[in-house]
Each structure stands twice: as structure tokens, then as C-alpha cells.
């Protein structure tokens, strides 16, 4: 989770007034398909929206024992992630919006994890991005009794929690996924988008921006396909001669790039691009890889470019490893 750091620039938005409540008791919830694999979830009761990648679809709220309460449930078709949204009044008296957010987060997370969970405040840049007065965040593993084991596999499930407070109301947003999926580049990509596109502000809830910028490295989507040029280069790099410790060090750097690159549309500062390039070059001695890094970084402009470069290079270097636990940069889509 990234809310301890500075919030990225949100996807471009357009001012839009909060529409009147649906006539005839219609649902206040909607999920409108957008460009590429995205759709915009909106809750007209509060002027809340969430721009989601991964071909999201609305699910039916359930009441199975252990399931978290939810006004709306959304499943991603392209990744094993389920999101839940719940708007509610405060459940206890709090001295401030911040204490309401953290207290709600502690209670919810402890109930879901069946253990005490560390809950952090989101900083001011995230509060401005989300349009809220206060927010708290947490991440925790779920026990099998939490109702997620059936869909999460033998490894169990994990959940990220966001508690947002605005004008005396509380919005609880969570997403649940298999524990092992946290190491997949697709999860890092989803989280970078999902954390940045929650907007609880009726003046800008109609988000029209494009999540996936054009890139010379990857196509759009959580599992964006490498462009033909770099797919061919990647196959060539798979034969590069690297010592085991060299390969391990480079893959660790690339894993950090994949998880921390940020939201895809964010333009990167030149010093960020140069610093990442220097870190990779400092760890690798193979001339073919050094040549690739030197040339490829001239095309890096956005976080989507940087993550794509790291994924392509990581897949290439990981292809010749001996059998081992699942790679941090997997070769194929699950």
C-alpha cells in the first residue's frame, strides 16, 4: 500500500454535479465501461467514484458468515480481486474525523483478521486526492473463517482496507485477493491505480481520464502484452550470461521498480528515470543487458513505461533460473 507516500497525480477528471437521486427507487450504484479494460463505479448517494482497471463487473452482495458487509461488490474479470464498498454513519463517538477513521479501521481490521492490526493515517496529499477530511489504511491476512478461503486457494486471502471520512459519514473500501497474488506485477499495477482513483467529491466524481497511456513497452491492461519490438529483445536477453548473485540482485531491483513505479499515467521526473537506470546498471555486468538498459531508458516517460521495462527485463532474466517458487515477475498471465 502506498498512502504513506505522496499521492500521485490523479487521472484527469472533469467537474460534474452530483445527479439527483434515482426516481422510482432505482439503484444509486452504477458501473460504466470506459476505455481499454476500465470501468467507473459511482455511488450517487455520496458523490463517490472509483475508476477501476481489470474489466470490473458488479456482483451480488452476499450474507455468508464471515463476509464483510457491503452496499456494492465488484469483481475483476482479469485478476482475482474482489472489492467491497460500504457507506455508513459513525458507529461510535470520536473527537475528530481522523480518530473516527482510525477507530473504524481498527475495529474493522481486527474483526476481519481476528487479530490486532496496525492501522495508519493517510497523509494530507492522499486526503486531497480522495477529497476527504480523514482516512486510515491497513492490510492484513484473512483467516479461513473470514469467508474468503473458497475463492483464494490453499494459500489463503489478504485484504487491503481504506476508511474514508467526509462530512460525518464513513466510506469503507476494501479489496480481497489471494495472498500469493501480492507478489504479482498485476497486483502492483492494480493497487497503483485503485489507490489513486478513489474520489469522494461530487465536484469531480466523473472521472474521464485514461488509465493506460500509450507506451512503447506494454499495451494497456493489468496484464499488458509486451510490444513486438521488446518482446523480441526480451527473448534475446534470456540468453545473457549472469552469475547467480548478479541475477538475484538485478531481479530484486526490478521487483522494487514494479511494485513502486506508481500509477500508470504519472509522468516521471528525469531524476527518477536516471536514478532507476543507474541502480540497474550498477547491479549488472553483462554487456547485452547494459546496452538494452541504456537504449530502453531513452523511451521511458511514464510509470507505465518504467513498469513495463522492468517486467520485460525481469521476465527475460528469470527465464533461465532453476525451478523455484513462483517468480516475482511471472512469464504468463494466470
- In a shared domain, residues 22 and 99: yes
- In a shared domain, residues 43 and 151: yes
- In a shared domain, residues 149 and 276: no
The enclosing domain of 63 has a CATH number of 3.40.1000.10
Q: CA–CA distance from 274 to each of 46, 189, 229, 270, 278 (Å)? A: 42, 21, 22, 6, 6
3-state SS, residue 107: helix
Under the phi-then-psi rule, with left for phi > 0, alpha for psi from -120 to 50, and beta for the rest, what region is 310?
Answer: alpha
Q: Is residue 216 in a domain? A: no
| Phi, psi angles (nearest 5°) of residue 41 | -90, 135
Q: How many other C-beta atoms are found inside a 10 Å radius of the C-beta of residue 247?
A: 19
Q: Which domain holds residue 244?
A: 228-318
- Could you tell me which residue, 232 or 329, shows the higher pLDDT? 232
**Predicted TM-score (pTM) of this structure:** 0.85
> How many distinct structural domains can be found in the chain?
2
- In a shared domain, residues 151 and 21: yes
Q: Is residue 33 in a domain? A: yes
Furthest-apart CA atoms within the chain: distance in Å = 68
CA–CA separation, 145 and 150 (whole Å): 10
- In a shared domain, residues 142 and 41: yes
Q: Is residue 293 in a domain? A: yes
- In a shared domain, residues 97 and 203: yes
Q: Are 161 and 1 in contact (CB under 8 A)?
A: no
- pLDDT tens for 119-157 read 999 999 999 999 999 999 999 999 976 554 445 555 799
- pLDDT tens for 256-281 read 999 999 999 999 999 999 999 999 99
Among candidate residues 168, 282, 213, the one with its CA nearest the CA of residue 53: 213
Strands 82-88 and 120-121: unpaired
Q: Per residue in 34-52, is it b (16+ CB within 10 Å) or e — as a string?
A: beebbbbbbbbebbbbbbb
- pLDDT tens for 169-201 read 999 999 999 999 999 999 999 999 999 999 999
CA–CA separation, 106 and 137 (whole Å): 9
- In a shared domain, residues 41 and 158: yes
Amino acid at each position: 500500500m502506498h498512502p504513506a507516500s505522496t499521492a500521485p497525480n490523479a487521472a484527469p477528471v472533469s467537474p460534474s454535479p452530483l445527479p439527483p437521486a434515482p426516481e422510482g427507487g432505482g439503484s444509486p450504484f452504477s458501473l460504466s465501461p470506459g476505455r481499454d479494460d476500465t470501468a467507473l463505479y459511482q455511488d450517487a448517494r455520496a458523490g463517490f467514484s472509483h475508476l477501476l482497471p481489470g474489466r470490473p463487473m458488479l456482483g451480488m452482495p452476499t450474507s455468508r458468515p464471515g463476509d464483510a458487509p457491503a452496499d456494492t461488490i465488484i469483481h475483476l474479470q482479469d485478476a482475482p480481486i474482489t472489492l467491497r464498498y460500504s457507506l455508513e454513519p459513525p458507529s461510535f463517538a470520536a473527537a475528530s474525523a481522523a480518530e473516527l477513521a482510525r477507530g473504524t479501521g481498527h475495529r474493522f481490521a481486527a474483526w476481519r483478521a481476528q487479530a490486532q492490526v496496525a492501522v495508519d493515517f493517510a497523509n494530507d496529499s492522499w486526503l486531497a486526492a480522495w477529497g476527504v477530511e480523514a482516512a486510515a489504511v491497513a492490510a492484513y491476512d484473512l483467516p479461513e473463517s473470514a469467508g474468503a478461503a473458497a475463492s483464494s486457494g490453499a494459500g489463503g486471502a489478504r485484504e487491503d482496507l481504506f476508511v474514508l471520512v467526509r462530512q460525518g459519514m464513513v466510506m469503507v473500501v476494501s479489496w480481497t485477493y489471494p495472498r500469493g497474488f501480492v507478489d504479482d506485477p498485476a497486483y502492483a499495477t492494480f493497487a497503483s491505480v485503485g489507490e489513486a482513483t478513489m474520489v469522494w467529491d461530487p465536484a469531480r466524481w466523473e472521472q474521464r481520464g485514461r488509465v493506460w497511456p500509450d507506451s512503447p513497452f506494454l499495451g494497456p491492461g493489468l496484464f499488458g502484452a509486451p510490444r513486438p519490438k521488446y518482446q523480441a529483445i526480451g527473448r534475446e536477453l534470456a540468453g545473457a550470461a549472469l552469475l547467480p548473485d548478479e541475477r538475484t540482485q538485478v531481479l530484486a531491483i526490478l521487483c522494487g521498480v514494479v511494485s513502486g513505479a506508481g500509477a500508470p499515467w504519472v509522468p516521471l521526473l528525469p531524476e527518477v528515470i536516471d536514478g532507476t537506470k543507474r541502480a540497474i546498471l550498477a547491479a549488472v555486468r553483462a554487456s547485452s543487458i547494459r546496452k538494452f538498459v541504456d537504449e530502453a531508458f531513452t523511451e521511458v516517460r511514464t510509470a507505465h513505461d518504467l513498469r513495463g521495462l522492468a517486467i520485460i527485463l525481469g521476465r527475460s532474466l528469470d527465464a533461465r533460473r532453476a525451478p523455484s517458487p513462483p517468480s516475482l515477475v511471472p512469464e504468463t498471465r494466470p
